[in-house]
Amino acid sequence: MKDWLENIQKTLAGKLTLAFVGLISLVMLGMTLTLIFTVGYGSTLAWAVGMSSLAMLLASATFYAFVTRITEPLRDLTDFAQQTNLKRLAVRLDVRSGDELEILARALNRMMQRLDASMKRIQQLAFVDTITELPNRDRFRQETDEAAKSNAVNNLVGAVISIDVDKFIRVQETLGQIAGEELLGLVAERLSAAVRASDRIVRLQTCIARPALLARTGISEFAVLIPDIDDPTQAGRFAQLVAAGLRQHFELGGHRIVLGACAGIAIFPQDGETGEEVLRSAELALSHARNGGRNRSVFFTRKMNQRALEKLVLENEIRAGIEQGQFMAYFQPKVDLGTGRIHGCEALVRWNHPTQGMVSPTKFIAAAEETGLIAPLGDYIMRDAAKKAAGWLRRGIALRVAVNVSAMQFNDDNFTAKVQNILAETGLPASLFELEITESIAMSNPDRVIRLLEPLRNKGVRIAIDDFGTGHSNLAALTRMPFDVFKIDQSFIRALGKDRSAPAMIETIIAMAGGLNYETVAEGVESQEQAAFLKKRGATLGQGYLFGSPMSADAFEAHARNWAARADGMAPTQLPDGLRRPS
């Protein structure tokens, strides 16, 4: 019985049932009274009606009391839901109804407490770098933004120093990710101490209201916000002191690691009005410091912005140029040093710029590589060159065409299929196609080179290693690679007659190529003496202004026909020195 009563008290269903039963019984009581009074005592009908109304009223009051006990907590719950909807996670429910609503309220309070704590943790993680526990880039940008705004109001000057840890990436590649993270932690500690010390040394005389803030802003990049400085030289001294802190060696897992640091400095408000702008200026200065060598610090200048802008304009122009077909392949002959015949050619990209005329690749290849545009551009030139060579073939000139491949084109896993498609589409036989790959690309990932090039070579495409002698070839890897040709870099040919070691270097490369059964192409042949020397030493082909500069496809076709006709009718003395009349 006691349990039953408690059940009624502590459950919503119990309360509602009780309310309902109470209401019905009161209504019935009222009706019974009404009946007794109307039937038994007809004269007192009014009195009977009054009594039953009173009973009804009583019933309604009881029902209302019960219902409000239920609805009050429900109203609290609704309020609570609305508050949490407005992200007020600190809100708590105070329900003491003793039933399931109270249990539900307590559960909701516990849930909100946990949610509140999680949200605080998420917010912390969003603004803190998890490896070094320093503020991250977003937080740094926000703080700089606020400092810039308050400086603008108070007429103060501040600085941002962007710091790159030299050699960090190389250490991480050698020792692995975990050691890399450990090293970053040590670097962060060192930098924090250096920032605190620099704050004291450099800004001792200034009344420092706001201390400097250190953050991790990139993989190996950190930044320091100095909210107020007396003059920019203070920021320069600050950068030097902080960078000097990094120059002392680190001990990690028994290794002695020597790092270094470059710094870029931006002053605000002059170098940027928002946190984003100031940080970008400091980073632009940093990239100039890095290009200038190790352990340098450079202040941002307007000119840097100008150069960055020019780069951007160049990038947009290249993009538009590709779409509008302003790029084309030019062709430079390669001559067989034994027979004097044109043996093939190299396709070299040219840009027919709408205002600047024909532009050399040295002016835009670097920008195209940096922006990734070299991939579509290189593919376009590859197709253009194959199309032109297939046209010559149809008109009776069978010459092999070589195209240059950039590192980015080579990163594409579809590279092999793409080359095969180009040959199929243009109808150029694989035996008349050659790919030139620089020594540095070849050596950066020998296994990938073998995987991507071997199927093409098996179909008859020839593979040349370009600018040979300028990279750091690993001889063991070199012999495993699917190459057919060494292109001797033009610096060796240019050095002939000037540098005493040049002939020996060229002879060594030719001998090595001979040993591996490779062809050799000497690049940059400009004089008959150079051609004669190369022929005597056994170089297979020569390429250079002596035999023809890069020219358009039509000009090259005419040059090739003319060369063959001239060579046939020429006296041996008229041929470039040392070259035999073609048989």
Binding mask 280-319 for ligand C2E (x = CB under 6 A): ----------------------------------------
384 or 466: CB nearest Mg ion = 466
Alpha carbon distances (Å) from 302 to 157, 233, 266, 277, 314: 18, 18, 11, 13, 18
Cα–chain center distance at 120: 29
Q: Choose from Mg ion, ligand C2E, none: what does 524 bind? Cβ within 5-8 Å by kind.
A: ligand C2E
Name the phi and psi angles at 92, rounded to 5.
-130, 150
Binding mask 468-507 for ligand C2E (x = CB under 6 A): ----------------------x-----------------
Name the phi and psi angles at 91, rounded to 5.
-65, 140
Residue type, 532: A
The Cα–Cα gap between 404 and 379 comes to 10
Name the phi and psi angles at 346, rounded to 5.
-110, 135
The Cα–Cα gap between 506 and 469 comes to 9
Query: Does 99 sit near ligand C2E (CB under 6 A)?
Result: no
The Cα–Cα gap between 95 and 92 comes to 10
Query: Does 365 sit near ligand C2E (CB under 6 A)?
Result: yes
Query: Does 138 sit near ligand C2E (CB under 6 A)?
Result: no
Given candidates 52, 332, 426, 473, which one binds ligand C2E under the rule CB under 6 A?
Answer: 332
Looking up tokens 């194959």, which residue turns up? 386
Question: At closest approach, how far in Å is the CB of 557 from ligand C2E?
Answer: 18
What DSSP state is assigned to residue 582? P
- For 45, the 3-state DSSP assignment is helix
Q: Choose from Mg ion, ligand C2E, none: what does 361 bind? Cβ within 5-8 Å by kind.
A: ligand C2E
271 or 434: CB nearest ligand C2E = 434
151 or 371: CB nearest ligand C2E = 371
Closest C-alpha among 208, 191, 299 to residue 250: 191
135 or 361: CB nearest ligand C2E = 361
Considering only the stretches 104-112, 167-175, 333-341, 540-548, report the one whose residues sit in contact with ligand C2E under the rule CB under 6 A.
Answer: 540-548
Q: Choose from ligand C2E, Mg ion, none: what does 414 bind? Cβ within 5-8 Å by kind.
A: none
Query: Does 360 sit near ligand C2E (CB under 6 A)?
Result: yes
Closest C-alpha among 443, 416, 397, 335 to residue 557: 397
**367-406: contacts with ligand C2E (CB under 6 A):** 374, 378, 381, 404, 406
Tokens of 199: 């704050």
Q: Which residues contact 477 (CB under 8 A, 6 or more apart)?
A: 443, 446
Given candidates 524, 532, 538, 577, which one binds ligand C2E under the rule CB under 6 A?
Answer: 524
Name the phi and psi angles at 519, rounded to 5.
-80, 160
Considering only the stretches 68-76, 111-119, 361-369, 420-428, report the one whose residues sit in contact with ligand C2E under the rule CB under 6 A.
Answer: 361-369
The Cα–Cα gap between 97 and 71 comes to 10
The Cα–Cα gap between 25 and 53 comes to 14
Given candidates 349, 373, 510, 541, which one binds ligand C2E under the rule CB under 6 A?
Answer: 349
Question: At closest approach, how far in Å is the CB of 326 from ligand C2E?
Answer: 14
**437-466: contacts with ligand C2E (CB under 6 A):** 466
What DSSP state is assigned to residue 209? S
100 or 529: CB nearest ligand C2E = 529
227 or 544: CB nearest Mg ion = 544
Contacting positions for ligand C2E (CB under 6 A): 332, 348-349, 360-362, 365, 374, 378, 381, 404, 406, 436, 466-467, 490, 523-526, 543-545, 550
